[in-house]
Amino acid sequence: MSAQHLESHPQWSTRLAFILASAGSAVGLGNIWKFPYIMGDNGGGAFVLIYLACLLIVATPILISEVMLGRRSRSNPISGMAKLSRQAGVSPAWQLIGWMGVLTGFLILSYYSVVMGWALAYVEKAANGAFVGADADTVEGIFTSLVSNPGTLLFWHTVAMLMTITVVARGVRGGLELATRIMMPLLIVILVLLFGYNIGTSGFAPAMEFMFAPDFSRVTGETVLVALGHAFFTLSLGMGAIMVYGSYMPANASIVTAGFWIIVLDTAIALLAGMVIFPIVFSNGMSPEQGAGLVFQTLPLALGAMEWGYWLAIVLFILVSIAAWTSAISLVEPAVSYLYERFGVRRLYSAIGAGVATWTLGVFSALSFNLIDEVTLFGKTFFGIMEFLTANILLPAGGMLIALFAAWRLRRADSAEELGLGGGAYHLWWWLAAVVAPAGVALVFLNGLGLLG
């Protein structure tokens, strides 16, 4: 790897910066919004257990593989996969991983931006004191009136997309490292605070039972598919985001150690979010199965009853918005870095181009909560289809290809060198990536799509 090449491809300033940026990508709406609501829809404890198993057995080796491919190639996912296939003397068709990733990122960001818009809208509502002293019906009404208003949704979707484009246009290093460094600890502090507040409430015990006492009678093939999909989604895995972040990683940092911290941070924040939200649900006699609105209806309720609730609500929704923001940028980064490195398109123009296309697709997601909510396929709205297709199909498929390439196509000497692993640890990774993770994804696919009878 020549010094010249390193100059044209940016790098994080330190190993910590890589961990924080990747954790910034991983920790987002997936942890705070999606995890609690799919856990609620899928019966709680058993889902959490299956999700943790997917994380450990399938997602971890793939995360390590994806970071490794990125750093080995020192390039954007599309050119990077082309380069690695050339070096390994295998088919250039593996570039598909990069192209699929760009497409998946585009699809995810289109609806992600809509939900980030909800979080932004909630900052405004909190500042207006809308939640102070609100009861369950009021809070539900606030959410329902937000999503049933196409104009408001489109406005906040646009703001979210503009924020995303702005950071990506400036390059990942400018400001992002700093934002994650301040945001992450603050988010944890507030969640712990809310958790502490919940401990004394009547809903605490039923919530712990709901989350940690598994009821396997509720588990179906689709439950497992959703749990697996979420393991990918929450770690930003399977579409090149972690690959491109890995490509900016300093050469001397350990990929395995960094991966470990990303997973620990991400999982801790997701579980904490659940332990904050479900006590509120059970204390107020609400149903855990509220779908996508769950977090937006429970948090304001608890905050509205607290002494410092007015301020906490503002800070909390700002943090949720920032968490979403640092994730959203990683969804476009693979595309933007490709356009720059391959065709020399300036970041500003490629960010605008990608932003306009993504925004347009996102309009349909926004409208699927109101004007076109009757248009469904398999009982899912446009938003629901986008969510299912990306998280449960495209990400696991992408992750499977990444693991297969890393284990079977890259020369073993190269992967061992890049990972800095030898002996037993290397073999463990290799077996997990070569056999266990791909087989796991394949089984869950067949089962989830009802093909195993």
Binding site for ligand TRP (CB under 6 A): 25-26, 28-31, 108, 233-234, 236, 239, 241, 327, 330-331, 395
Query: Which residue's CB is nearer to ligand TRP, number 197 or number 233?
Result: 233
Q: How far is the CB of 87 from ligand TRP (least distance, A)?
A: 26
Query: Which residue's CB is nearer to ligand TRP, number 123 or number 421?
Result: 123
Q: How far is the CB of 109 from ligand TRP (least distance, A)?
A: 8
Q: How far is the CB of 239 from ligand TRP (least distance, A)?
A: 5
Query: Which residue's CB is nearer to ligand TRP, number 164 or number 447?
Result: 164
- Which tokens is 367 given? 């409208």
Q: Which of 102, 105, 100, 90 is nearest to 406 (CA)?
A: 90
Can you tell me the distance from the alpha carbon of 30 to that of 257, in angstroms, rounded to the nearest whole number? 23
Alpha helix segments (H runs only) across 45-95: 45-54, 60-73, 77-88
Query: Which residue's CB is nearer to ligand TRP, number 29 or number 123?
Result: 29
Query: Which residue's CB is nearer to ligand TRP, number 146 or number 331?
Result: 331
Q: How far is the CB of 125 from ligand TRP (least distance, A)?
A: 21
Q: What are phi and psi of 308, to 5 degrees?
A: -95, 20
- Which tokens is 421 given? 């692993």
Q: Which DSSP state fits 238? A: S
Query: Which residue's CB is nearer to ligand TRP, number 236 or number 267?
Result: 236
Q: How far is the CB of 77 from ligand TRP (least distance, A)?
A: 11
Query: Which residue's CB is nearer to ligand TRP, number 68 or number 421?
Result: 68
Neighbours of 451 (CB within 10 A): 9
Neighbours of 225 (CB within 10 A): 24
Q: Which of 223, 295, 280 is nearest to 28 (CA)?
A: 295
* Chain centre to alpha carbon of residue 247: 19
Q: Which of 117, 168, 148, 166 is nearest to 362 (CA)?
A: 117
- Which tokens is 422 given? 């030898």
Query: Which residue's CB is nearer to ligand TRP, number 231 or number 421?
Result: 231
CB 18 within 8 A of CB 258: yes
Residue nearest to ligand TRP (CB): 30
Q: How far is the CB of 205 from ligand TRP (least distance, A)?
A: 28
- Residue-by-residue DSSP string for 363-422: HHHHHTTTTTTT--BTTB-HHHHHHIIIIIIIHHHHHHHHHHIIIIIS-HHHHHHHHT--
247: buried, middle or exposed (CB in 10 Å: 19+, 13-18, 0-12)? buried
Q: How far is the CB of 328 from ligand TRP (least distance, A)?
A: 7
Query: Which residue's CB is nearer to ligand TRP, number 211 or number 235?
Result: 235
Query: Which residue's CB is nearer to ligand TRP, number 30 or number 36?
Result: 30
Residues in the chain: 453
Q: How far is the CB of 266 from ligand TRP (least distance, A)?
A: 7
- Which tokens is 297 given? 């209806």
Query: Which residue's CB is nearer to ligand TRP, number 134 or number 328?
Result: 328
Q: How far is the CB of 5 from ligand TRP (least distance, A)?
A: 26
Look-up of token digits 């009136």: 145
Can you tell me the distance from the alpha carbon of 173 to that of 447, in angstroms, rounded to the nearest whole number? 42
Is 9 in a helix, a strand, or coil?
coil
Q: How far is the CB of 412 from ligand TRP (least distance, A)?
A: 28
Can you tell me the distance from the alpha carbon of 173 to that of 159, in angstroms, rounded to the nearest whole number? 22
Residue 99 C-beta-side C-alpha neighbours within 13 Å: 6
Q: How far is the CB of 335 from ligand TRP (least distance, A)?
A: 12
Can you tell me the distance from the alpha carbon of 147 to that of 372, in angstroms, rounded to the nearest whole number? 12
